[in-house]
Structure 1
């Protein structure tokens, strides 16, 4: 990974934004009995606008934390930047209606974005990976990246899955958010990000990995959601060689994984996992 002093100097959000709030609900037993009022924490879902220079690009519904990581990862997986050095800096501002992240691009990438005119022009909902894309030809397709790393041992995958739940404090409190984690080749979790949107969680993780200068060949990604094609594309944009999901894959996810030479592991649970796609070089 190329070192980027601008990214290294970007701090965390100056003001801590709440990621959950307490509400009151009524618990109604299925078999009868008294109705009880209970306090529950719910995950906060807030609009975050992404602006490049002075050009608004998209409004995404996110958990308002780790927004610097989100903006950097989103920029890479959207194809707006090709590497971290394309970002000169960014700022996060809180407004009455939500958050705005302004990303300062190097001139050639900003000019390419404006010339391409591929702007979302819509709100990206929490479950949406391609909201605002108007043509089939504009569906995400990551650039091919060399060096997919070595095969990940089944024991490492199991170790990462065992540690996953303990690294999700917001989900433990609300039961409403997804996680994306980076594990070393030994299965030890190194980084984890949470968000109400599965795509946002993965973008946040990728942004954090870019900022830390992590080598994609030294580990694998684990996600707590279903494995659709855009999750594969985001992982491929970072250069990950293995993507593990606790839920099932879609057909297009399998097709894209083959195209990128990526190992795709899904339905990964405590009692085992299923390998759906694997490069020939990893087969015994």
Structure 2
């Protein structure tokens, strides 16, 4: 988590704290994940951190866990309203927020813009990949449209390549020897997407999040990460999916086997 994001989160907690709590934030650890709260969380190991009025000089509340929630939750505890970045029983969302992708993460908004469906781009390869994997042709096209605008020569600033913007490790995992070959890229991307849809029981939002930011990041946050780039990417893919389904007249994707 960046210092700027930590400061923003701290100020957010200040805004909802009672006056007497304004300089105390609790750093709570539970099952290897870290949250920040205005009161000790049940079931967590919490440490009170007194922070100077000059928040820019705040200590490192997060340690090396690198965990940051995308929602501030409100709940009642001991007759008072308390706030936390962990979704504990009885909590209700109070404020949602996003942060920039930390350095080194593959998450991105995509290279393609939302626009009209392009049904003529690599049509044979998409049909073949959809038939081989059972993943909806319209969904694969939506991902490719958002990822690269179907440019087989595309390379992202973070190193993803080809039509489906596969990272080198992912391409290797699926036997893609030429990431700039539309047939290989689309086949590898389709097989990767099939695996993700199976992992998330057909949930396209989580599958798109993992395709964009990685399985590990989705597991770390227990869902869609709070990265602004990933959330914009998901919105883009879902919007494109609706447009491709309408243009192609396709039926809903059958559940992954």
The structure with more strand, counted as a fraction of residues: 1
Q: Determine if the TM-score, normalized by the shorter chain, exceeds 0.5.
A: no
TM-score by length of 1: 0.27
Report the TM-score, using the length of structure 2 for normalisation. Answer: 0.29
Greater radius of gyration (CA): 2
